[in-house]
Chain A
Amino acid sequence: MFGKGLVKGLEITWKEFWSPKTVIQYPEAQNPIPERFHGRFVLDTDKCIVCGMCANACPNKVISLKKQKVGTKQFLTNYVMNIQYCMFCGLCVETCPKDALHFSKVINMNQYFYNNIPLVLVQREAPAEQVEQEKPAAKPTPQLKADALAPTAESEVAASKASDKEGE
């Protein structure tokens, strides 16, 4: 009979009308974030051995780090992620040999100003007994033209320091 399907459809709609709501009103309520969620990065500076493997694993050359030699050990002075180019694939976290870099559950990484976008995880001075300064570990390879076009992380950090921090 023509129209039987329509009636069946209406029946289902009627049943669904009385079923519990599945939509969550976001800012007031939020779904639980799973353990493996790819959120904002966190670096455990005590564990980090400044090997630069995370920077090499990144497909988009998002990570740039600077180090200085203090005594016999390498000291991490700068760790900046150009987060606007990050795909959140997790290859950096996976390659970290000391499990120093990991994801947190922070989802809100919005910024008001472009200069504030780079995620500065470490920015500090090396202790006084430094001997010599080394070149940056993650030097961008010349074959990537996208790198040349993108402003370097350091310059952006310098700019962000000078600019308004309202967005944070």
Chain B
Amino acid sequence: MIRTQEYNLNFGPQHPSTHGVFRILLTLDGERVVKAEPICGYLHRGVEKLAEARTYTQFIPYTDRLDYLAAMLQNWGYVMAVEKLMGVEVPEKAEYMRVISGELSRLASHLIAIGTYSLDIGAFTGFLLAFRERETTMDLLEELTGSRMTLSYARIGGVAADAPDGWLEKVDKFMDKMPTCIDEYDGLITGNEIFQARTREVGVLKPETAINYSISGPSLRGSGVDYDLRKAKPYGVYDRFDFDVPLGKNGDCFDRFDCRMKEMRQLVRIIKQAIQQIKEIDGPVIGKVPKVIKPPVGDAYAEIETSKGIIGYYVVSDGSPKPYRVHVRRPSFINLGYLDEMLRGYLVADVVAILGSLDIMLGEVDC
């Protein structure tokens, strides 16, 4: 009789499919995973501590660097928390600009998610096509904010600047084109039998487990749990848009992937409606905010739905111009909580598929 022995394998931190610097210590029995220990912290910069030495406005560029693929959504969550603390009213136009730029950020993030996921599985063409549209998205964001990835566009009480002339028309035109592009990804990746064979019934996440582990975003909705903050607790002007929340059935890798794909179609709808509605609104893009921001003593928590899940910012003020404490609830980090049990029993090749389907962002995991 052949005696087998378990052995350890270091997956990462410099592995391309970990999407950053993330390490999993795999205990393997042959090619089956027995145990997986996620080790993070390679990109830890102490953002929460840095906030304590910065003023409220100065912390905005640091939030970009949490989830740098969807920077606007991070900005938005933070400024919402400070606005809640101060009781500032945001002008309507600024809310619409936040929706448009935020949804464009979400598009850029989802395009990376599906593009790199197809690359993880081994389909290179899908990756290139997704990046082609991502480039256009980033060009549009660059025209609006001046930066491609770290936008720093949101400000406490509004946004940094109004849209340049003709920008909304450009976005509208791009959104007209986008559904055909998503059809292409569907044809190339989603419909591909090899892709389906690799992802269906792999890394199954049951709805009850997903809720118990506080998993959020497309990873939660892939399991069939209908919880999208934009619908469940509408913030900003999201209650004015008509859109659906795509849900999965089985909670496997394919469903999580498909949720992102369908979410892209929905965000195209949101942006088109927002552009239509913003044209009728005139006014400032930033509300009445004092020059030196000194929120009253107290604390506030605001959460929004980002591309990865629910991001929450908890800001404590002691009445000085600098926050006493800032805490970030990072969806990528919390979504990783179930990774160990999710990987058990699967093959080494499936580790890449499962990790990719969670769509983690290491800037956010390590904070």
| Contact between chains at B58 and A90 (CB < 8 Å) | no
Q: Which residues of B contact A31 (CB under 8 A)?
A: 139
Known A-B contacts A31-B139, A59-B54; A37 and B146 likewise in contact (beta carbons under 8 Å) = yes
Known A-B contacts A5-B192, A6-B193, A12-B187; A35 and B147 likewise in contact (beta carbons under 8 Å) = no
CB distance from A11 to the nearest CB of B (A): 7
Give per-residue flags for B131-153: 1 if the beta carbon is below 8 A from chain A beta carbons, else 0. 01001000100111111001010
Does A91 sit within 8 A of B, measured CB to CB? yes
Q: Which residues of B contact A135 (CB under 8 A)?
A: none
| Contact between chains at B142 and A89 (CB < 8 Å) | no
| Contact between chains at B193 and A3 (CB < 8 Å) | yes
Q: Which residues of A contact B176 (CB under 8 A)?
A: none
Give per-residue flags for A79-100: 1 if the beta carbon is below 8 A from chain B beta carbons, else 0. 0000000011111001000000
A8 and B187 CA atoms in complex are apart in Å by: 6
Q: Which residues of A contact B125 (CB under 8 A)?
A: 9, 13, 16
Known A-B contacts A13-B125, A143-B53; A89 and B187 likewise in contact (beta carbons under 8 Å) = no
Categorize the interface residue count of chain A: 20 to 34
Q: Which chain B residues in 153-190 approach chain A with CB under 8 Å?
A: 160-161, 164, 184, 187-189
A57 and B152 CA atoms in complex are apart in Å by: 14
Known A-B contacts A12-B184, A16-B129, A143-B53; A5 and B59 likewise in contact (beta carbons under 8 Å) = no
Which of B60, B144, B192, B196 is in CB contact (< 8 Å) with A89? B60
Does B62 sit within 8 A of A, measured CB to CB? yes
Known A-B contacts A9-B188, A94-B160; A89 and B150 likewise in contact (beta carbons under 8 Å) = yes
| Contact between chains at B187 and A90 (CB < 8 Å) | no
CB distance from A8 to the nearest CB of B (A): 5
A81 and B107 CA atoms in complex are apart in Å by: 35
Does A151 sit within 8 A of B, measured CB to CB? no
Q: Which chain B residues in 103-141 approach chain A with CB under 8 Å?
A: 125, 129, 132, 135, 139
Give per-residue flags for A141-159: 1 if the beta carbon is below 8 A from chain B beta carbons, else 0. 0011000000000000000
| Contact between chains at B132 and A2 (CB < 8 Å) | no
Does A27 sit within 8 A of B, measured CB to CB? no
Q: Can you name 10 A-B pairs with beta carbons within 8 Å?
A: A4-B191, A5-B191, A5-B192, A6-B192, A9-B189, A9-B191, A12-B184, A34-B139, A36-B142, A36-B146
The 10 closest A-B pairs by CB, nearest first: A89-B61, A5-B191, A59-B58, A36-B146, A34-B143, A38-B146, A89-B152, A9-B188, A5-B192, A8-B187
